[in-house]
Amino acid sequence: MPGYFSAMEKQGFEELLFAHDASTGLKAVIAIHSTILGPALGGTRMWPYPTEEAAVNDVMRLARGMTYKAAMADRDLGGGKAVIIGDPCRDKSEKLLRAYGRFVDKLGGRYITAEDMGIGEKDLDWVRQETAHVLGDSSQGSPSPFTAYGVWRGIKASARDALGSDSLEGLTVAVQGLGGVGSRLCEYLAGEGARLIVADLDPEKVKGAVSRWAAKAVAPEEIHARECDIFAPCAAGGIINELTIPQLKCRIVAGAANNVLQDRACGAGLMNRGILYAPDYVINAGGLIYVDSIRLGLKDPDEIRRVVGRIEQRLTHIFKRSAAEKQPPEVVADLMAEERLQSGAKAAPTETWA
């Protein structure tokens, strides 16, 4: 398609694959950004994209983010992602997902898939019937609790840097999105005594949060503008943009969503307003760490949480370097990821972040 080769060259992509199966109606795009450090790992997202171009743009952005996420998480992995064009509530079926699994299998392990929006553990069970290159199915468990744990630890690092203490007791946190990660994050926050403001497109999830944690419910389109200490986006990306930045009434933006910033200029916009941003692919890497740990045979959840907990030290290092170099945190994170990619170095047995 016009422009895709130039985009691949500019962003360093290795492969962009289009998969179609006439019998099931499958239309999927698999993007492999990099395999410098290892096989490309990234979830499969199913979404009713308005155009094919929107689907390709999304998968490329997500795949590149996975490369940086793996590099910053010190995993010997590359970055990839896949999208299936369709409504997961209406178009998803066993036949479609098994057809998709056959396409993944043809890549011979260069791409390993996992769950993402619209695709869950049971869906991956169908994919696994056609390929071994899948992680996070029902036999392995969902990575969401580990993503939430890492985000919680990352929020504590952010609070320590911006507010002077890592205690969240008494702070107000606005959580946008109450899916598998957002709801688990609320458990950690409420358990520490934080006050919650919540929003989700599913009113039942909102009712549950209000009942369970005495959270205050607001409309999804309003939550970013509510007065709070920390805004935690845990839904779709692009919530931080030129329109929403002036509306923010928080000191910290730190959540589980991917591609929180609509573009690079938004990071500078947050910094200019004195709002600390925890780079998304650093703070939300707990799920990737979990599935890669399972791939490598590490199954002790306490040990995996210990590794995920390093996200706190990682962010602290980024914030210190950001202040010293007077660069937004996401710029510093990108530089650190690129340094590792350029060296092609495998992860060290132990990790220290000063």
Residues with active-site annotation: 81
Tell me how long the chain is: 354
d(CA 23, CA 66): 31
Instruction: Output the DSSP codes for 267-307.
Output: HHHHHHTT-EE--HHHHTTHHHHHHHHHHTT---HHHHHHH
d(CA 114, CA 245): 32
Measured CA distances, 318 to 104, 108, 169, 263 (Å): 35, 36, 24, 19
> Is residue 224 within 8 Å of residue 203, measured between CB atoms?
no
d(CA 225, CA 348): 42
Instruction: Tell me the residue type at 276.
Output: L
